[in-house]
A and B are shown apart, each in its own frame.
Chain A
Amino acid sequence: MKIYITGYGLISAIGIGEEETLASLRASRSGITVGKKDETRAFKVGEVALSNDELKDRFHLATDGSRTALLGMVAAKQAFNGHVLLDDVRTGLISGTSVGGMDISEKEYRNYLNNEDHKPENYLHHSSGITSSQIAQELGIDGFINTISTACSSAANALMMGARMIRSGMLDRVIVGGTDSMTSFTISGFKSLMIFDDDWCKPFDKSRKGLNLGEGAGFIVLESEKSLEITKKIPLALLSGWSNASDAFHQTASSPDGDGAKLSMIEALNVAGLDPSDIDYINAHGTATPNNDLSESHAIKSIFQNVIPPFSSTKAFTGHTLAASGGIEAVFAVLAINKGLLLPNLNFSEAIEETKLTPQLAFEEGKTINHVLSNSFGFGGNNSTVILSKV
Chain B
Amino acid sequence: MYYIQAISSISNQDSFRNDDLYTSLRDFNTEHDVVAPDYKEFIPRNSLRRLSPILRMGLTCAIESKNVVGKDFDAIVVGTALGCLKDTEKFLNTFITSTSDFLSPTAFIQSTHNTIGGQISLGLNNHAYNMTHTQNNLSFEVSLIDAILCIKDGKTNVLVGAAEEKIAFLELVQPKLISDIYPLASGASFFTLSEKQQNSTVAIQAVETNFNSKHTDREISSFLERENVTLENSDLVFTSGNSLNVAGSSLNTINYLKYSGLHYSASAFATHVAHDFLKNNNAKYALVINDLCKGNLGLILLKKG
Interface residues of A (CB under 8 A from B): 98, 105-106, 109-110, 113, 120-121, 123-124, 127-130, 132-133, 136, 142-151, 157, 161, 164-165, 168, 170, 184-185, 188-189, 191-193, 243-252, 259-260, 263, 378-382
Nearest B residue to A42 via CB reads B101
In the bound complex, what is the Cα–Cα distance between A148 and B79 (angstroms)? 9
Is the Cβ of A147 less than 8 Å from the Cβ of B109? no
Is the Cβ of A123 less than 8 Å from the Cβ of B177? yes
What is the 8 Å Cβ interface bit string for chain B, positions 86-130, against chain A (1 contact, 0 not)? 000101111111000011110011111111011101101111111
What is the 8 Å Cβ interface bit string for chain B, positions 59-98, against chain A (1 contact, 0 not)? 0000000000000000010000111000001011111110
A-B contact pairs, 26 of them (CB 8 A): A113-B96, A121-B177, A124-B176, A142-B212, A145-B135, A147-B135, A148-B134, A149-B112, A149-B132, A150-B113, A150-B114, A157-B131, A161-B146, A168-B149, A185-B108, A188-B91, A188-B94, A189-B108, A191-B103, A192-B108, A243-B129, A247-B121, A248-B124, A251-B110, A380-B121, A382-B130
Instruction: Pick the residue among A130, A150, A260 that contacts B117 (CB under 8 A).
Output: A150
Nearest A residue to B105 via CB reads A192
In the bound complex, what is the Cα–Cα distance between A280 and B160 (angstroms)? 37
- Asked if B139 is at the interface (CB within 8 A of a chain A CB), the reply is yes
In the bound complex, what is the Cα–Cα distance between A146 and B82 (angstroms)? 14
- Asked if B168 is at the interface (CB within 8 A of a chain A CB), the reply is no
Nearest A residue to B97 via CB reads A113
Is the Cβ of B108 less than 8 Å from the Cβ of A127? no
Interface residues of B in 117-165 (CB under 8 A from A): 117-119, 121-122, 124-136, 138-139, 142, 145-146, 149, 152-153
Is the Cβ of B127 less than 8 Å from the Cβ of A121? no
- Asked if B197 is at the interface (CB within 8 A of a chain A CB), the reply is no
Query: Which 10 residue pairs are nearest across A and B when measured between Cβ atoms?
Result: A380-B118, A189-B108, A188-B95, A120-B173, A142-B212, A192-B105, A149-B113, A246-B121, A120-B176, A192-B103
In the bound complex, what is the Cα–Cα distance between A192 and B108 (angstroms)? 8
Is the Cβ of A150 less than 8 Å from the Cβ of B127? no
Using known A-B contacts A248-B122, A251-B109, determine if residue A150 contacts B135 with beta carbons closer than 8 Å: no
Is the Cβ of A123 less than 8 Å from the Cβ of B176? yes
Which residues of the partner chain A approach B212 to less than 8 Å between Cβ atoms? 142
In the bound complex, what is the Cα–Cα distance between A270 and B152 (angstroms)? 17
Is the Cβ of A381 less than 8 Å from the Cβ of B122? yes
Is the Cβ of B127 less than 8 Å from the Cβ of A380? no
Using known A-B contacts A165-B149, A189-B91, A189-B108, determine if residue A244 contacts B173 with beta carbons closer than 8 Å: no
Q: How far is the CB of B1 from chain A (nearest CB, A)?
A: 16
In the bound complex, what is the Cα–Cα distance between A381 and B95 (angstroms)? 25
Using known A-B contacts A127-B81, A129-B135, A192-B105, determine if residue A185 contacts B112 with beta carbons closer than 8 Å: no
**Contacts A147-B133, A192-B108 given; 14 further ones with Cβ under 8 A?**
A120-B177, A123-B173, A127-B82, A129-B134, A146-B133, A146-B135, A148-B134, A150-B117, A161-B149, A168-B149, A188-B108, A248-B126, A259-B127, A381-B130
Instruction: Pick the residue among B112, B121, B139 that contacts A381 (CB under 8 A).
Output: B121
Which residues of the partner chain B approach A136 to less than 8 Å between Cβ atoms? 211
In the bound complex, what is the Cα–Cα distance between A276 and B121 (angstroms)? 27
Which residues of the partner chain A approach B81 to less than 8 Å between Cβ atoms? 127, 129
Which residues of the partner chain B approach A129 to less than 8 Å between Cβ atoms? 81, 134-136, 138-139
Which residues of the partner chain B approach A168 to less than 8 Å between Cβ atoms? 149, 152
Instruction: Pick the residue among B76, B108, B112, B172 that contacts A120 (CB under 8 A).
Output: B172
Is the Cβ of A251 less than 8 Å from the Cβ of B136? no
Which residues of the partner chain A approach B103 to less than 8 Å between Cβ atoms? 188, 191-192
- Asked if B29 is at the interface (CB within 8 A of a chain A CB), the reply is no
Q: How far is the CB of B105 from chain A (nearest CB, A)?
A: 4
In the bound complex, what is the Cα–Cα distance between A150 and B153 (angstroms)? 21
Using known A-B contacts A109-B96, A142-B211, determine if residue A251 contacts B115 with beta carbons closer than 8 Å: yes
- Asked if B200 is at the interface (CB within 8 A of a chain A CB), the reply is no
Is the Cβ of A146 less than 8 Å from the Cβ of B118? no
- Asked if B209 is at the interface (CB within 8 A of a chain A CB), the reply is yes
In the bound complex, what is the Cα–Cα distance between A188 and B95 (angstroms)? 6
In the bound complex, what is the Cα–Cα distance between A142 and B295 (angstroms)? 10
In this complex, the member of A106, A124, A168, A189 whose beta carbon has the largest number of chain B beta carbons within 10 angstroms is A189
Which residues of the partner chain B approach A260 to less than 8 Å between Cβ atoms? 127
In the bound complex, what is the Cα–Cα distance between A109 and B118 (angstroms)? 27
Q: How far is the CB of B221 from chain A (nearest CB, A)?
A: 20
In the bound complex, what is the Cα–Cα distance between A245 and B131 (angstroms)? 9
Which residues of the partner chain A approach B97 to less than 8 Å between Cβ atoms? 113
Using known A-B contacts A129-B139, A379-B118, determine if residue A98 contacts B112 with beta carbons closer than 8 Å: yes
Is the Cβ of B133 less than 8 Å from the Cβ of A148? yes
Is the Cβ of A246 less than 8 Å from the Cβ of B91? no
